[in-house]
Structure 1
Amino acid sequence: MLNNLQTGFPEGFLWGGATAANQIEGAFDEGGKGLSTSDFAAYKDPYAKGAVDNFTFNVSSKELAEYTEQPEKYLFPKRWGIDFYHRYQEDIALFAEMGFKTFRISISWARIFPTGMEAEPNEEGLAFYDKVFDECAKYGIEPLVTMSHYEMPIELTKKYNGWVSRELIPLFENYARVIFTRYAKKVRYWITFNEMNMNLNSLYTGAGTLADKVDNVLAATYQASHHQFLASALAVKAAHEIMPEAQIGCMINQIESYAKTTKPEDQLQALKSNQLNMFYPDVQARGAYPTYMTRYFADNNLKIVMEEQDAAILKEGKVDFVAISYYMSHVTEARPDAAKLAGSFDSPIKNEYLELTQWDWPIDPIGLRISLMKLYDRYELPLFVCENGLGAKDVVSADGKIHDDYRIDYLKKHVEQMKEAIMDGVELMGYTTWGCIDLISCGTSQMSKRYGFIYVDQDDQGQGSLARTPKDSFYWYKDCIASNGENLG
């Protein structure tokens, strides 16, 4: 028999917002914290004359040495964040005013194990997150915790070159068991690795690996990913042992690829691009490598080193849900560089039917619905949209307010399409907009690329009062949550 049609967001839907420790906390040298890979993302002025590549995703071994030896010559915005470390009570109170049901936050591995290799965890770091989770509980907000969100102790990069080394697996499992045991009664929802498929875009950001220290970057990418798959599976298994009621998921940056034309070759390339994207949840949700990767590895002369027990570990550590970030869709075609572009964060081929953001990202709400439908058909697991938002150059008006109708319009259209997906039969757990409070940009380490419902008075150089001011979108989202997605203004 067919189920009854779900006509709106389900009761208990987890509305909220998302952040990452390395983009909000600051206090990089307080509370016993060690330095992380994100602490070495040096700011490059995206507005400088002639600026071309201003992404701080990648760090070379030469740059890491310079940043370590002469840090005073550079700006490292992720070291100061927005001072959430000292202002978490104020910020969580604002989230509660909006009516948040959940707050996505990450734990900094380097705050718990400063080098990643200690025998015992740092109590000050553990105590900090205790206070954050207790503050959430005071308002009835469920934490959604990412265990590894684009940062890891830098010492693991220096000693092992990050996740290309299998040595990191037991270190991560130990970290996982420590935080699961500590927060078993405070956190029910977990994600192992943030956007693991973004390893294809930045080996340093995703895996803490210096690309110039490996012989073959593509081979290193998939070897590092394999080690992360194993670490994730072991963490899932540990979570189920320690916290039987908890749910633990995987996450990808969902990149839905459309074929540029109806030409069969373009259609085939779109399928292959989507396969490379789905490879990551395929392994984590199904517990095994998909067969299509056999040919991909052969065609690219890649041999992934695996041990005999790896297959069993993956099978035993399947996730409970699949989480995604969704910002845009892509267009693909059969062209000489198609293989290189597959899995990339942004496509050079723009969709003529879509508007672009100030950062030239295509706006495609229907693509979110398509993505959710495809993912649910593929895995038949609950889905969670844990990142979605609009980066923009917000301006404080003469009245002291921030009128961000453009953000409201963007979010409204995506919420409408999530509702359509639910009516299509998709089981959707929740929605946490990215950067619910202005924070440091992941890709460029800017402050001026703002996503939040709350304006933070700080510029790209870290100057400002850090005062928090609700934007117009703050009140829109409050109404949206209060009406369970029915009142969209």
Structure 2
Amino acid sequence: MPQKNYFDNDFLFGSAAAAYHFEGAWNKDGKGVAVADVVPGTQDKRTQKPEKGNLKHRAVEFYDRYKEDVALFGELGLRSFRTSIAWSRIYPTGIEEEPNEKGLEFYDNLFDELLSHGIEPVITITHSGEMPLYLADNYNGFANKEVIDYYTKFVQTVVERYQDKVRYWLTFNEVNGTQKEPFFYGGVSQEPDTITEELKCQVDHNMFVANSKAIEIIKSINSDLQIGCTTIQGLFYPLTSKPEDILQAYKDNRDRFFYTDIHVFGEYPSYKLKEFKDYGFDLDITDNELKLLKEHTVDFVAYSYYQSEVTKADSIDSASTVVNVDNDLKNPYLSYNEWDWSIDPVGLRTLANVLHDRYQLPQFIVENGHSQIEKLEEDEHGNLTVEDDYRIYTLREHLIQLNKALEDGVNIIGYTNWAVMDFVSGTTGTMEKRWGFIYVDFHDDLTGTMKRYKKKSFDWYKRVIESNGEYLGNS
């Protein structure tokens, strides 16, 4: 029996990207060097300066090809498209008095192009890896409170400029990534072995303050604009029903929700304050900052969901870190992709319900997808494509579970899968890890035509959107 469809006509079916992943033109039209420009491979392993071989410098040339790409997005039928504004394209070092007009003009043109195809821009003000390198190397990124002011100047500039074109704003991308990768997510450029857990918590606090200041600025410009801040989410399941494992899973989930707790509730939970005290952390937190956090909170909960995880009581040394770390435990009830990520569509429904009960705010799933090593092949008509049935299956199962979450009563306003097209992977720095509905002929050895080809999933997702989700019950 077909599942009843609960997606309403306003649901923002969409897809996503981010500036450093796909724009390229890393030093064109006045753009400055960004953190990602010195991270050629896996995140947080940098070079001292930009070097040849960093695929992000060219990426997939969206900066120069945006019109043809947005035309494809329009053909796909996207209702929304999430991307970011490259901070160093607007303020090349971050400390300029005046913004780079060429950079501002690019995003004016991009947003106009999206809107002309009926696509709602969902804009991350700064994605991970996009801080101007100058702020990282000369100020130590968000370890330094001065950077908050440079960030909020950037916020003021772009929101004033684009307030009539962009309704949905995200202040940061996946802010809870700072604990594992403080350089890539927070611009902390001091030697990695000198970065203490206390400093990471200070960085988090400074980014909380920056988030609330950004909300204050955005609402003062236009109170109707909607604001979120993305985190990485995915529930921890206890490995067994052993009470100690259940307690560990509870604590791990609480740590994962910590960032969103502050974004929504505007205050530090008591357990976290106790942790700071127990660890002897002496953070620079002022009463005015705590007041700011309380008064300026998000309008919706935005998050990336790729997988769930399992945990057990003795999986880590609990004294080693304030925030629990990922582990190598496997869930025997789930399959895993070639990157060793679990595939858990039901986990998305469960998570959506948990977040609904916890926050009572609208939710926006801004990243969720399937990556695989792929190559072009001829279809039955002789056209080059990718027969990516595995992507169709994975996305379909996740969207079916989203539909069930809507049936449960969860308020979900949109879904922008990762990703609309192939581009440079953030976790590997390669092209071989492909995410998109659109294949881009560009490879890790810098060869390729850059031609775009529609994968099988392109037509499938188009039908899903055209049917407002109804097709999910029949495909």
- The interval holding the TM-score normalised by the smaller chain is over 0.9
Asked if 1:477 is matched to 2:461, the reply is yes
Distance in 2 (CA, whole Å) between partners of 1:319 and 1:386 is 15
Secondary structure of the 2:416 match is strand
Say which of 331, 354, 358 aligns to 1:374: 354
Partner amino acid for 1:10?
Answer: D
- Report deviation, 1:345: 7.2
Matching of residues 324-339 of structure 1 within 5 Å: 324-335=303-314, 337-339=316-318
Matching of residues 176-195 of structure 1 within 5 Å: 176-195=155-174
Residue 299 of structure 2: aligned partner: 320
Say which of 358, 363, 370 aligns to 2:338: 358
Matching of residues 23-422 of structure 1 within 5 Å: 23-43=21-41, 56-59=42-45, 63-65=46-48, 67=49, 71-72=51-52, 75-150=53-128, 151-210=130-189, 212=191, 215-335=194-314, 337-339=316-318, 346-399=326-379, 400-422=384-406
Distance in 1 (CA, whole Å) between partners of 2:368 and 2:323 is 18
- Report deviation, 1:427: 0.3
Distance in 1 (CA, whole Å) between partners of 2:456 and 2:39 is 32
Q: How many pairs align?
A: 464
Moved over 6 A (4+): none
- Report deviation, 1:245: 1.6
Distance in 2 (CA, whole Å) between partners of 1:193 and 1:232 is 8
Secondary structure of the 1:309 match is helix
- Report deviation, 1:140: 1.2
Partners of 1:230 and 1:313 within 8 A in 2: yes
Partners of 2:5 and 2:469 within 8 A in 1: no
Partner amino acid for 2:282?
Answer: K
Deviates more, 1:390-399 or 1:318-327: 390-399
Distance in 2 (CA, whole Å) between partners of 1:413 and 1:107 is 31
Structure 1 residues 164, 214: closer, same or farther in 2, change over 3 A? farther
- Report deviation, 1:395: 2.1
Deviates more, 1:301-310 or 1:28-37: 301-310
Unaligned runs of 5+ in 2: none
Partner amino acid for 2:76?
Answer: M
Structure 1 residues 91, 309: closer, same or farther in 2, change over 3 A? same
- Report deviation, 1:98: 1.1
Partners of 2:197 and 2:322 within 8 A in 1: no
Structure 1 residues 123, 345: closer, same or farther in 2, change over 3 A? farther
- CA deviations 1:64-104 (Å, max 9, x no partner) are 43x35xx24xx211111110000111111111111111000
Residue 454 of structure 1: aligned partner: 438
Secondary structure of the 2:471 match is coil
Secondary structure of the 2:399 match is helix
Partners of 1:214 and 1:220 within 8 A in 2: no
Distance in 2 (CA, whole Å) between partners of 1:342 and 1:89 is 46
Secondary structure of the 1:135 match is helix
Distance in 2 (CA, whole Å) between partners of 1:257 and 1:147 is 29
Structure 1 residues 404, 338: closer, same or farther in 2, change over 3 A? farther
- CA deviations 1:157-190 (Å, max 9, x no partner) are 1111111110111111111000010001000000
- CA deviations 1:8-45 (Å, max 9, x no partner) are 112200011010100000000101100000111123xx
Normalised by the length of structure 2, the TM-score is 0.95
Distance in 2 (CA, whole Å) between partners of 1:345 and 1:100 is 36
- Report deviation, 1:305: 1.3
Secondary structure of the 2:336 match is coil
Partners of 1:198 and 1:345 within 8 A in 2: no
Q: Percent identity?
A: 41
Partners of 1:77 and 1:462 within 8 A in 2: yes
Distance in 2 (CA, whole Å) between partners of 1:486 and 1:213 is 49
Unaligned runs of 5+ in 1: 1-5, 44-55
- CA deviations 1:341-382 (Å, max 9, x no partner) are 886675300101100111111100011011100111111000
Deviates more, 1:409-418 or 1:205-214: 205-214
Normalised by the length of structure 1, the TM-score is 0.92
